[in-house]
Amino acid sequence: MDESKINAIEMKHLRRIAGKTRWDKVKNEDIRVITKQEPIIERIKKKQLEWYGHVRRMKTSRITKKVMEARSLTTRRRGRPRRKWINQIQEIGRERGKTLEEMRLMLRNRREWKNWIQEEPESAPDT
C-alpha cells in the first residue's frame, strides 16, 4: 500500500472541503480538526483487522477461510517474495504492539478484539 500517495490525495480533498488551499499554510492536523476526519489509512487498517478477525473466527469449512489459509504447492519464482496480505496484518499488529500469535489469541474474544481495533494507535505526526 502506498500510504504517501493515499495521504496526499486525501489531504487534497479535505482541504477542498475545508475551503483552504496550500497557500493558506494550514497544517494537515488543523484541516483534520476542521473536517472532523480521521486519517483514511487508519480506517483502512481498522477494516483490514476487522476482516481478519471475521475470517479467523469462521468455520474451517468456509471457502473464504480455506483461501486465506491456503499454501501454494509450487516453488516460487526468482527475486523478492511477493508481499502477502497476512504480512500486512502482521505489520499493523506490530504497529499496535501485538504479535500475530497474540492477535490470534485475542480475537477469540470478540469484544476484546473490537475494543483493541478501535483504540487509537500511537502514530507519527501527519505532515
Res 114: pLDDT: 92
Res 74: pLDDT: 84
Using the predicted structure, report yes or no on whether residue 32 has a pLDDT greater than 50.
yes
Provide mean pLDDT across the span 109-123. Answer: 84
Chain centroid to CA 70: 22
| Residue 99 CB neighbours (<10 A) | 11
Helix axes 40-56, 85-95, angle to 10 degrees: 110
Instruction: Give dist(CA 19, CA 126) in Å, integer.
Output: 19
The pTM for the full model equals 0.78
Res 1: pLDDT: 55
pLDDT band at residue 115 using 50, 70 and 90 as cut-offs: very high
Which residues lie closer than 8 Å to 17 by C-beta, 6 or more apart?
35
Provide the grid cell at 4. Answer: 504517501
